[in-house]
Structure 1
Amino acid sequence: MATIAILHANHNHPAYTGASLRAGAVAGTESSAIYLAEALARRGHRVFALNRLKASSVENGVTWLPLESRTSLPPVDFAIALNSDRLYWGFKARHKLTWLHTPPTLGKFLKRRNALALLWHRPTAVLLGGYHASTLDPRVLYRRRVEIAHGVADMFFAPEPDAEPRAPKAVFCSRPSRGLDFVARLWPSVHATVPDAELHVFCPQSSLDEAAARIGGSAPGIRLRGGVARSELAAELRTARVMLVPGDPDETYCLAAAEATASGVPLVTLGIGALKERLRDGETGFLASGADDFARHAQNVLTDDALWLRLNRGCVAESALCRWDDRAAEWERLFVALDTRDAPALEPFLVAAR
Structure 2
Amino acid sequence: MATLKIRNLKKGFEGLEIIKGIDLEVRDKEFVVFVGPSGCGKSTLLRLIAGLEDVTSGTIELDGRDITEVTPAKRDLAMVFQTYALYPHMTVRKNLSFALDLAGKDKAQVEAKVAEAARILELGALLERKPKQLSGGQRQRVAIGRAIVRNPKIFLFDEPLSNLDAALRVQTRLELSRLHKELQATMIYVTHDQVEAMTLADKVVVLNGGRVEQVGSPLELYHHPANLFVAGFLGTPKMGFLKGKVSRVDSQGCEVQLEAGASVLLPRTSATLSIGSSVTLGIRPEHLELAAPGQAGFSVTADVSERLGSDTFCHVITDSAEPLTLRIRGDLASQYGERLQLHLAAEHCHLFDEGGAAVANPLQAAA
TM-score range, shorter chain: under 0.3
**Higher strand fraction: Structure 1 or Structure 2?**
2
Higher CA-based Rg: 2
Which is richer in helix? 1
Q: TM-score, normalised by structure 1?
A: 0.26
